[in-house]
Structure 1
Amino acid sequence: MRKLIMWNVITIDGYFEGEKSWDLGFHGQVYGKELEEFSLVQLNSADCLVFGATTYKGMADYWTNANEDEGEVAKHMNKIQKLVCSRTLQTANWNNSVIVKDAVSEIQKKKQEGNGDMFVFGSGNLSDSLLKANLFDEIRLCVAPVFLGKGKLLFQTGIPEKNLNLIETRALTTGGVILRYGCQN
């Protein structure tokens, strides 16, 4: 059975995006060789990425135009299967993309198929729905050493109380910390 894993970079005060859409400047605080290697390990364990419509559009724009510096990560991002969870999106043209109208029921089914992990990158609203449906097996966060003070919080109100098990902490030389938590389903 596949695992569904959330992956996000957040600030110490819990923001995963600034005030404007795709305001991710704080990612530069933590990105470096270690995080690139961690990204490759994650992508190598995955056989499916899951996005909400807004994140999908931004990721597709970025990765289909990635320069040579993005190397292996770009190669993986462009070839892996992608599920786009959207009730309104009509087309998804990035390689190996499929639109899913009912995220919760489709993700429940997809978890039963395949062997590789399924990752949700970004996608705050989708992550909120999947958290409330108790579908995540693991939550992985990279905490950037910055207070943003405003923007879009990753975790919204109304998420039911849930105990998590610490799997790993990894300090990065950039000052960031990767946290891995297992979800008790």
Structure 2
Amino acid sequence: MAKLIMWNLMTLDGFVEGPNRDISWHSDVWGEELEQLSIEQLNAAGGLLFGRVTYELMANHWPSATGEVADFMNAAPKYVFSRTVKASGWNNTRMFDADVLETVGRLKRDSAKDIFLFGSADLASSLIPHGLIDEFRIAVTPVILGGGTPLFKPGEKRKLKLIDSRPLSTGIVILRYVPTAAE
């Protein structure tokens, strides 16, 4: 059974995007180390999971991009949850509109390799209370946006255990957490 791994870049003040869905700050922290980490993770992935907003950002960028990351993004199985978008022109994409919890559970059972949830803070917030995210990988970036979309939504307290931390030369710190057993 595959793990579902949430992977996100997050600003120091907890945002995954600024006002008006601005992610231009990603270019401030992108570098060779983060690209290598992305390639390692993509090579370990059996599929990519997106909510509609992140999917649309990705689908508007990757099909015309080039390079090793682009090749993987375009070839990888992609699973998208949306109540409004019913079809995709992006290669190897399956759309789902209901039964998020059951579908994610089935995808995890049916995949031999781990599935990565990119961006998609709203989708993540619907999965966290049900224990469907097996690992949280967060790249905390040395950027303060002052507003935008928070990575984590209000909800129940969740305890996590740090399993790895790794600083990069750009000032990013990669943090890896797994949920702990309920007390």
Give the TM interval when normalised to the shorter protein. over 0.9
Aligned length: 180
Report Cα offsets for 1:100-142 as digits up to 9, x if no partner: 1222110011111121110110011101101122100000000
Aligned to 1:8: 8
1:167: Cα distance to partner? 1.2
Q: What is the alpha-carbon distance in structure 2 between the residues aligned to residue 146 and residue 46 of structure 1?
A: 28
Letter in 1 for 2:12: I
Q: What is the alpha-carbon distance in structure 2 between the residues aligned to residue 8 and residue 107 of structure 1?
A: 18
Q: Contact (CA 8 Å) 1:30, 1:172: kept in 2 or not? A: no
RMSD between aligned residues: 1.1
Where structure 2 has 5 or more consecutive residues not aligned to the other structure, the ranges are: none
Aligned to 2:125: 128
Aligned to 1:37: 36
Aligned to 2:173: 177
Task: Give secondary structure in 2 for the equivalent of 1:75.
Answer: helix
1:87: Cα distance to partner? 2.0
Q: Contact (CA 8 Å) 1:2, 1:114: kept in 2 or not? A: yes
Q: TM-score, normalised by structure 1?
A: 0.94
1:88: Cα distance to partner? 2.0
Percent identical residues: 46
Aligned to 1:17: 17
Q: What is the alpha-carbon distance in structure 2 between the residues aligned to residue 132 and residue 94 of structure 1?
A: 30
Aligned to 2:90: 94
Aligned to 1:76: 72
Report Cα offsets for 1:11-62 as digits up to 9, x if no partner: 00100000012x1122123210000000011100101100001111110110
Letter in 2 for 1:108: G
Q: Any residues of structure 2 matched to 1:21-170 within 5 Å, and which?
A: 21=21, 23-66=22-65, 68=66, 71-101=67-97, 102-158=99-155, 160-170=156-166
Where structure 1 has 5 or more consecutive residues not aligned to the other structure, the ranges are: none
1:95: Cα distance to partner? 0.6
Q: What is the alpha-carbon distance in structure 2 between the residues aligned to residue 65 and residue 106 of structure 1?
A: 29
Letter in 1 for 2:13: D
Report Cα offsets for 1:60-99 as digits up to 9, x if no partner: 1100111x3xx11000000000001112211112111001
Q: What is the alpha-carbon distance in structure 1 between the residues aligned to residue 86 and residue 169 of structure 2?
A: 42
Q: Contact (CA 8 Å) 1:50, 1:83: kept in 2 or not? A: yes
Q: What is the alpha-carbon distance in structure 2 between the residues aligned to residue 90 and residue 107 of structure 1?
A: 18
Q: TM-score, normalised by structure 2?
A: 0.95
Q: What is the alpha-carbon distance in structure 2 between the residues aligned to residue 130 and residue 184 of structure 1?
A: 16
